[in-house]
Structure 1
Amino acid sequence: MTPVEVVRASMAAYRAQDLDAASALLASDYVFFSPQDAGIDKATFLERCFPTADRFAEQEVVHVVDLGGGEVFLLYEYVVESGRYRNAEVSRVRDGQLVETQVYFGGRLGS
């Protein structure tokens, strides 16, 4: 899989809550960063962050760009009870697996 395909497959596994598929896409040394998570490992990510897909009424990719060198930029919108939001991620892929994801939370869209 290309880095973009890995990122898309990871997002699909998250939305489907397919733990086996998600785990296979994450390298053993995977690290996840967000405004709420300061470099957590794969096990912590799968325990804390992965089971949250049910919060989203919908989620759609706005842009996904191969930045080269195994890095992928992803911009997506999602809807939760309080409204529509947009997040950005930069992920690094090595040998068909995610090794790092940095998530940046966006504000509420619209009024």
Structure 2
Amino acid sequence: MAEASRANTVRAIFAAYLSNDRRFVENALSDEFRFTSPFDDNIDKATYFARCWQNSDWIERHELERIFVEGDEAFVTYHCAAKGGKSFRNTEFFVFDGDKVKRIDVYFGAAYQDGRFVRQPG
């Protein structure tokens, strides 16, 4: 799979999330898929959909700022604007196995409210 095609897959997954197209995302992920975030440790595909797949009505838009692909791996940094003025920036690391996504690791970034930085507790 060419690097441009992997970047297109990343873009398509984000678009499918916004349109709530779960079937597309299920087909884009391998059966061995694993997901890690600050709240999830190496969960499988079934657990990902049970725990993380939500109705996307709370999202106004994703702005994909950069996608960097090298071989079977890709990083995407994006700004997510939620309805109601909250927003955040995250980076996700994708690992591909052929034309399927085998792994996604999410790194949470800063949160904003009405364009201003919001300090997180902790």
Does TM, normalized by the shorter one, top 0.5?
yes
Distance in 2 of aligned mates of 1:52 and 1:36: 18
- What is the root-mean-square deviation of aligned Cα atoms in Å? 1.5
Count matched residues. 110
Q: Which has the larger radius of gyration?
A: 2
Q: 1:96 aligns with which of 96, 99, 114?
A: 99
> Per-residue displacement from partner, 1:37-74 (whole Å, max 9, x unpaired)?
011100111122122422212211011111x2310010
> Per-residue displacement from partner, 1:6-56 (whole Å, max 9, x unpaired)?
211211111111111110000000000000001110011112212242221
- Of all paired residues, the percent bearing the same amino acid is 31
Matched, 1:79 2:56: no
Please state how far the C-alpha of 1:75 moved relative to its aligned partner. Answer: 0.3
Please state how far the C-alpha of 1:82 moved relative to its aligned partner. Answer: 5.3
Query: Relative contact order (C-alpha < 8 Å, sep 6+): which is higher?
Result: 1
> Which residue of the partner structure matches residue 21 of structure 1?
24
Distance in 1 of aligned mates of 2:30 and 2:88: 28
Give yes or no for contact 1:7–1:98 (8 Å, CA) kept in 2.
no
**Where do 4+ consecutive residues of structure 1 move more than 6 Å?**
none
What is the TM-score of this pair, normalised by structure 1? 0.89
What is the TM-score of this pair, normalised by structure 2? 0.82
Q: Which stretches in structure 2 are left out of the alignment for 5+ residues?
A: 117-122
Please state how far the C-alpha of 1:84 moved relative to its aligned partner. Answer: 2.1
Q: Which stretches in structure 1 are left out of the alignment for 5+ residues?
A: none
